[in-house]
């Protein structure tokens, strides 16, 4: 598939577990461009991962430097607030919305795959695992002080580029087909 019909710089965003990274990888492969994930810039490398956020100026500079040499790219994840200086570079934003029950099931399965028995009660990562799932469950009802639907909606309202909304639990290929239709 040729990427000519697709915008050059696409940001995929939504709740944790909505599939932004998975769709981002597939879209980047189809277009033949690099895919970047905001988590790789937001978080400092730790073991286990996702324990220490990188200070804002550093994460923004790293992301800006990573994107700069590329004419085309896919950026997945959430950067509402901290990544706003990059908005002018977006040709399109794709917002993924998945029902909370499905998202949380995806996240629990992903955590199990990543960490195995360490997330079981009494395991060394159990408390962090529960805290993450509790945080993710707040997305649909949370306010603008956190990564939430409300924050994303407010952020998207003022974007200078087109926003495509993909809602539901479609497969990656169904989402790709929808994007092909909208961008052909």
Please check the confidence at residue 3 and state whether its pLDDT lies above 60. no
Q: Which residues, in sequence order, are bridge partners of residue 167?
A: 97
The whole-angstrom separation of Cα 114 and Cα 152 is: 27
Tell me, yes or no, whether 3 lies in a domain.
no
Q: What pTM does this model have? A: 0.93
User: Per residue in 137-159, pLDDT tens?
Assistant: 999 999 998 999 999 999 999 99
**pLDDT of residue 167 exceeding 60:** yes
Number of Cβ within 10 Å of residue 101's Cβ equals 10
DSSP string of the chain, one letter each residue: --STTS-SEEEEEESTTSSHHHHHHHHHHHHT--EEETHHHHBPP-SSSSSSBPPHHHHHHHHHHHHTT-SSEEEES--TTTTGGGGGG-SEEEEEE--HHHHHHHHHHHHHHHHGGGGSTTSTTHHHHHHHHHHHHTTTT--TTSS-HHHHHHHHHT-SS-EEEEES---HHHHHHHHHHHH-
- Residue 2 in any domain: the answer is no
Q: Is 4 inside any structural domain?
A: no
Res 4: pLDDT = 62
47 belongs to a structural domain: yes
Q: Where in the sequence is the domain holding 86, given as residue range(s)?
A: 9-175
Asked whether residue 1 is assigned to any structural domain, the reply reads: no
In a domain, 26, yes or no: yes
Identify the pLDDT of residue 12.
Answer: 98
Q: Give the contacts of 175 (CB within 8 A, at least 6 positions apart).
A: 19, 23, 96, 166
Q: How many domains would you assign to the chain?
A: 1
**Separation of alpha carbons 174 and 183, rounded Å:** 14
Using CA atoms, how far residue 141 sits from 23, 95, 137, 171, in Å, is 24, 17, 8, 25
pLDDT tens, 49-72? 888 999 999 999 999 999 999 999
Mean pLDDT of the chain: 94
Tens-place pLDDT, residues 73-101:
999 999 998 999 999 999 999 999 999 99
Looking at the domain assignment, is residue 183 inside a domain?
no
180 domain-assigned: no
The CATH number of the domain holding residue 146 is 3.40.50.300
Query: Which residues does 164 contact at the CB level (< 8 Å), separation at least 6?
Result: 92, 93, 94, 95, 179, 182
């Amino acid at each position: 598939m040729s990427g000519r019909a697709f915008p050059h710089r696409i940001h995929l965003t939504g709740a944790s577990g909505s599939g932004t990274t998975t769709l981002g990888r597939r879209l980047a492969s189809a277009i033949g461009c690099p895919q970047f994930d905001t988590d790789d810039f937001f978080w400092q490398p730790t073991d286990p991962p996702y324990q220490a956020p990188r200070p804002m100026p550093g994460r923004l500079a790293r992301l800006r430097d990573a994107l700069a040499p590329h004419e085309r790219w896919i950026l997945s994840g959430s950067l509402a607030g901290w990544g706003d200086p990059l908005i002018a570079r977006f040709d399109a934003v794709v917002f993924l919305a998945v029902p909370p029950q499905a998202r949380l099931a995806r996240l629990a399965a992903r955590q199990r795959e990543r960490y195995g028995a360490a997330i079981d009660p009494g395991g060394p990562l159990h408390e962090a695992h529960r805290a993450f799932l509790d945080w993710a469950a707040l997305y649909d009802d949370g306010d603008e002080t956190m990564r939430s639907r409300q924050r994303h909606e407010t952020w998207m309202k003022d974007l200078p580029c087109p926003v495509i909304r993909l809602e539901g639990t479609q497969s990656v290929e169904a989402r790709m087909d929808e994007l092909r239709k909208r961008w052909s």
